[in-house]
Amino acid sequence: MTAVLVVDDDPHLLRALRITLQAHGYDVTTAADGHSALLAATQHPLALVILDLGLPDLDGTEVLRELRTWSQAPVLVLSARHGSEDKVAALDAGADDYITKPFGLDELLARLRALLRRTADVDVQPVVATEAFTVDLGKHRVTRGGEDIRLTPTEWKMLEVLVRNPEKLIPQQQLLSEVWGPAYAKETNYLRVYMAQLRRKLEADPAAPRHLLTEAGIGYRFVP
């Protein structure tokens, strides 16, 4: 069974999500605050985390940043915060998707399936090397100067889409749809945030990138 951790301080929502997810075949662990969530995450091998931002002890973004120091499990953020700055902050902290309350359970389940598909293992994948960094698609590993570079799951997925299409211009809408889903096809600010992060981690000169290129207003291109 697919193990999911659900973190929310609303006992009614927590119970509803547990019942719904269990009915769809998920192995569900729940937590009502940030400290309990981090403890549960260390005690259970997780395939996915559903995380509320408005927790009583820690802000959800703090939980997310701590989780990201040792776990690459995909994280779907739940929040009553509708502002784009909150979405960007959560994504920047390592979230893979974001859904605002109230939400439909069918949409939530679809988002979970999409996240799990993104992280599914692939049997044989190539290694792509540039002058600045090397990407091992099979091992989900990026190295620079012989040192491992830690990427968030969303950073990895964005890099993976580009690396699998060398020299090809990937339109903004396509990249957004493949990494975040069709509902995010107009959220171009996500791309700017994550591309800047990837360049800081991978390019020799992030201000003058040689491998992760922008076609202004159109899309992005990976040049080996």
Q: What are the tens digits of pLDDT across the range 149-174?
A: 999 989 999 999 899 888 888 888 88
Give the number of C-alpha atoms closer than 13 A to the C-alpha of residue 61, restricted to the C-beta side: 10
| Interval 75-90 mean pLDDT | 82
- pLDDT grade, residue 124 (50/70/90)? very low
pLDDT for 31: 97
Find out whether 46 and 73 touch, Cβ atoms under 8 Å: yes
Among candidates 127, 129, 160, which has minimal Cα distance to 144?
Answer: 129
Both tokens of 174, joined, read 């396509």
Write down the CATH number for the domain with range 2-118: 3.40.50.2300
Phi, psi of 187 (to 5 degrees): -85, 65
Instruction: Return the higher-pLDDT residue of 93 and 130.
Output: 130
Give 72's pLDDT tier (boundaries 50, 70, 90).
confident
Helix (H) or strand (E) holding 68: helix 60-68
pLDDT at 23: 95
Residue 7 has pLDDT above 80, yes or no: yes
Q: Answer whether residue 214 shows pLDDT above 60.
A: yes
Mean of pLDDT values over 113-123: 69
Give the residue-averaged pLDDT of 74-85.
84
Buried-state track 113-135, b at ≥16 Cβ within 10 A, e below 16: ebbeebbeeeeebeebebeebbb
Is it the case that residue 11 has pLDDT exceeding 50?
A: yes
CATH of domain 127-222: 1.10.10.10
Contact 173, 161 (CB under 8 A): no
Whole-number pLDDT of residue 121: 46
Please give the average per-residue pLDDT across 126-131, as a whole number.
90
For residue 123, the model assigns a pLDDT of 38
Query: What percent of the chain shows pLDDT beyond 70?
Result: 97
Q: What is the mean pLDDT of the chain?
A: 88
Whether 2-118 and 127-222 share one fold: the answer is no
Share of the chain above pLDDT 90, in %: 52
User: Can you point out the beta strands (E) in the chain?
Assistant: 2-7, 26-31, 48-52, 75-79, 97-100, 127-129, 134-136, 141-144, 147-148, 169-171, 212-215, 219-222
What band does 125 get if pLDDT is binned at 50, 70 and 90? low
Task: Give the CA count within 13 Å in the CB-facing half-sphere of 45.
Answer: 2
Q: Structural domain boundaries of the chain?
A: 2-118, 127-222
